[in-house]
Each structure stands twice: as C-alpha cells, then as structure tokens.
Amino acid sequence: MKNDLTVNGDTFEIMISEQKIKDRVKELADEINADYAGKVPVFIGILNGSFIFFADLIREITIDCEVDFLKLSSYGDAKISSGNVRLLKDLNCQVTGRDIIIVEDIVDSGLSMQYIRELILRQNPTSFKVVTLLYKPASIKSNIQLDYVGFTIDPEFVIGYGLDYAQRVRNLKAIYRMKS
C-alpha cells in the first residue's frame, strides 16, 4: 500500500523493481554482446520513452557500437495508442550497410515498430533487430518480429523508467502498473 502512487488522479502500484530491471537489462546486453561480437552495430533509441532504458543498456554493451535517435509520436497524452504514428526527428546516421538495433521502451499495438521497420528497411541495412524492454502481446495489431524482450506483460497501462503518463513520471526508477 505504501508503495502506491497517484498520477493525474489514477493510482499505480509497483510492477517491476529497480533491481529486477537492472538485472534484466544486463542479461539483454550480454546476449547482444555475444550476438554482435566482431560487428559495430548502430543502436537507435526511440524517443522519448526509451531514453532511460537506452542509457542503461548501452553502458552494459562492451562491443564497439554507434548510437542515434528517432523521435516518434503516436499517443499524445492519451493512455490508448492512436495508431497514428508521426516522425518528429529523423536519423543522422547512415543506415545502408549497417547492423541496426532498434531500442524501444515498450511494444503495445506494434504500429510504431511497424512504421520504424519500414522506414529503416527502405534504407537497406545489413541487418535489422529490435530490443524492447516491455512487450504487451495481447495488444499487438501488427506483424513484427521482436528479437530481445525484457519483460512480457499483460495489456495494462504502465509508467516509469522512461514511460510517461501525459508526459509525467518518466523519471521514476521502477515500473508501475495502473490499479483497476
């Protein structure tokens, strides 16, 4: 009870602790380090939501790599995905002939990821893989492949560790779920 918090009038409870996130991020990085040994992939973070996951993941990456960012918008301030994806900031890096790893906070409907996939594949990368911290399989509305998944969760609204509720609470260290 004492761990509950109220945001925009809704109550949230802890779902994934700071330590659990940290341990899982390290496991994901270890897998990526092994899979990309000898390569120099480009990690592309999807702003804004992935910024904390991205920063923690990249510091566990021990192979040579580059980073870049894409900024998308689909939610506005709502809790349900509009499915209407807009590109707010394009890449600076060259995609052609590179090993691309997309870093997302959460895949919900998957429509953002489908948009990103089409955008990147048009530029002929050598390879294209996706790492997402969270995945809601019951919400999926597209046919996309996720290569590294941190946690598979129920289709509930979650906040913290980069994930916002109407732009707030991205700074929380743990992930919280909305109480029904």
Residues engaged in binding Mg ion (CB under 5 A): 49, 105
Is residue 50 packed enough to be buried (19+ CB in 10 Å), middle (13-18) or exposed (0-12)?
A: buried
Alpha-carbon distance of 172 to 164, in angstroms, equals 9
CB of 106 to ligand IMP, least distance (A): 5
Decide: is 73 part of the binding site for ligand IMP (CB under 6 A): no
Q: Binding ligand IMP by CB under 6 A: which of 75, 128, 135, 161?
A: 75
58 or 63, CB closer to Mg ion? 58
Within residues 107-166, the interface with ligand IMP by CB under 6 A covers 107-113, 157-159, 163-164
In whole angstroms, the minimum distance from the beta carbon of 27 to Mg ion comes to 21
Contact between 153 and 137 under an 8 Å Cβ cutoff? The reply is no
Alpha-carbon dihedral angle through residues 93, 25, 112, 76, given to the nearest 10 degrees: -100
Q: Angle 71-76-79 (CA atoms, 0-180°, nearest 5)?
A: 115
Residue 87 β-bridge partners: 72
Of 36, 101, 42, nearest to 62 (Cα)? 36
Site size with ligand IMP, rule: CB under 6 A = 20
What is the nearest approach in angstroms of ligand IMP to the Cβ of residue 3?
A: 18
Positions marked active-site: 108
Q: How far is the CB of 48 from ligand IMP (least distance, A)?
A: 7
Closer of 49 and 150 to ligand IMP (Cβ): 49
Site string for ligand IMP, 14-53 (x = CB under 6 A): --------------------------------x--x----
Q: What is the DSSP string of 102-169?
A: EEEEEESSSHHHHHHHHHHHTT--SEEEEEEEEE-GGG--S----SEEEEE--S--EEBTTB-BTTB-
Q: Which does 16 bind (CB under 5 to 8 A by kind): ligand IMP, Mg ion, none?
A: none
- Positions in the binding site for ligand IMP (CB under 6 A): 46, 49, 74-75, 81, 104-113, 157-159, 163-164
